[in-house]
Amino acid sequence: MKLIAKILLVLLLIYPQNIFASTVDQDKILSDYIWHKFTMLNPSQRPKVAIVLGGGGARGFAHIGVLKVLKDENIPIDIIVGNSVGALVGAMYASGAPSESIEKLAENTGWNDISNFSNPSVLKLFITGKLLSTEKMEKYMEKYTGAKRFDELKVDFACIATDILTGERVVLKEGDVARAARASATIPGLFAPVEYRHRFLIDGGLSDNIPTDIAKLMGANYIITVCVSADFSKNKVSSVFSMLTQAISIQGRQLDDEKLKLSDINIFPKVSDVSLMELNRSRECIDAGSVAARESVAQIKKQLLEKTSNYLLLN
């Protein structure tokens, strides 16, 4: 019995070895060659690739996993458009921070690092109505983006915020990156609006959670969208805050569906059960982003090659 069990144990460990099978696959060799040629092209010789990173609080850590996989696979990113957490992650990536260090940073980031969010401050909010501050978020972003301006970034970047007074969508693509990203990620009803160029700005998710049209306007020929919206039908609406986030989610969903149609490929990391505030689940979200991106890599490469393959065969 013991022997049989040992044999079965060995077989169990041997079983997945076929995933490492080293056969010469003609499709793979040719695809690798064509893709390699693609990666050698100048940006002007290939489609301009944009990634749109949607909002979703803690779920947005999935963006880090997606960006890491795209980088590993040599998929170029020429434009980043982000909203809310997508703006925070996008700004860091566009400033040249490697996804590995963003990943480590995310794992060690709590609400205390980016705001004065705490139990007493939330209590104070309910009693006095005094909104919490995200000043820390701006300092945090300055530290990790090198206090850059938009025109100093390595990748074209824009982020979205909402003017709380007019309800307008505001596209931020000039000036101070840290302040813009902070404004984009200011959750309404919890954090105080950010004053930015005579406007009072809050989270872009209120007016446009997935700004694919901005990516198009910035010249993208190919758009990858990462959507980390919640499955709000499963939420328990039991508190003032949950009611508020639920209302935002419902409104956002309608807008999202329209905006996703402009995208060439949509990546949906499986993070819908993670709540807006659960920063402690960053590892799980990053992994979900990696897995979802891996599932889309072949399709992205195929679509990009379809647009350029003839050029590649002739040069």
Partner 1 sequence: MNYKRINLLFFLTFLLCVFSALSFCDVLNSLPQEQVFQSKNKNKNYKLCLQNYNQAISSQNFNAALNSLEQAIGFATTNKKRYELFVMQGDTYFNIKQYAKSIEKYELAVDLLPQQEVAKFKLAGVFETIELYTRAQDVYFDVLTYNPKSFDAIYAIALSYFRDGLYTKALDYFLKALSLKPQNDLYRKTALCANYSGQSDLAVSLLENLTKNVRSYDDYFLMGELLTKKSEYKKSIAVLTDAINLDKENGSAYLYIGINYLLQNDVESAKKNFKLASQKLSNSALPHFFLSLIYNLQKDRSNALAELSKANELSTSPVVRQYCKKLRILIDFPSKKLSDVN
Report in angstroms how near the CB of residue 223 gets to partner 1 at its nearest.
Answer: 18
CA 19/CA 6 separation, integer angstroms = 22
Assess whether 84 carries a catalytic annotation: yes
- With tokens 């599932």, the residue in question is 295
CB 241 within 8 Å of CB 190: yes
Report in angstroms how near the CB of residue 310 gets to partner 1 at its nearest.
Answer: 5
C-alpha dihedral, 296 to 297 to 299 to 303, nearest 10°: 130
Report in angstroms how near the CB of residue 269 gets to partner 1 at its nearest.
Answer: 12
Report in angstroms how near the CB of residue 274 gets to partner 1 at its nearest.
Answer: 14
Which residues of the chain form contacts with partner 1 (CB under 8 A)?
1, 5-6, 8-9, 12-13, 15-16, 19-20, 22, 24-27, 29-34, 36-37, 40, 68, 71-73, 287, 290-291, 294-295, 307-311, 313-314
CA 88/CA 92 separation, integer angstroms = 6
- Name the residue nearer to partner 1 (CB basis): 11 or 127: 11
Catalytic residue among 78, 84, 95, 296: 84
CA 91/CA 94 separation, integer angstroms = 5
Catalytic residue among 156, 163, 203, 256: 203
Report in angstroms how near the CB of residue 19 gets to partner 1 at its nearest.
Answer: 6
Backbone conformation region of residue 281, classed left if phi is above 0, alpha if psi is from -120 to 50, else beta: alpha
3-state helix, strand, coil in the chain (%, to 5): 55, 15, 30
CA 315/CA 32 separation, integer angstroms = 16
- CA proximity to 226, closest of 114, 69, 111, 38: 69
- CA proximity to 105, closest of 71, 68, 69: 68
For 247, residues 6+ apart whose C-beta sits below 8 A from its C-beta are: none
Assess whether 176 carries a catalytic annotation: no
Distance of CA 226 to the CA centre of its chain: 6
- Name the residue nearer to partner 1 (CB basis): 61 or 191: 61
- Name the residue nearer to partner 1 (CB basis): 71 or 124: 71
Retrieve residue 42's tokens.
Answer: 């100048």
Query: What CA–CA distances, in Å, run from 56 to 194, 205, 246?
Result: 19, 8, 12
Report in angstroms how near the CB of residue 73 gets to partner 1 at its nearest.
Answer: 8
- Name the residue nearer to partner 1 (CB basis): 126 or 311: 311
Q: Which letter does DSSP use for residue 131 in this model?
A: P
Report in angstroms how near the CB of residue 237 gets to partner 1 at its nearest.
Answer: 28
Residues carrying an active site annotation: 84, 203
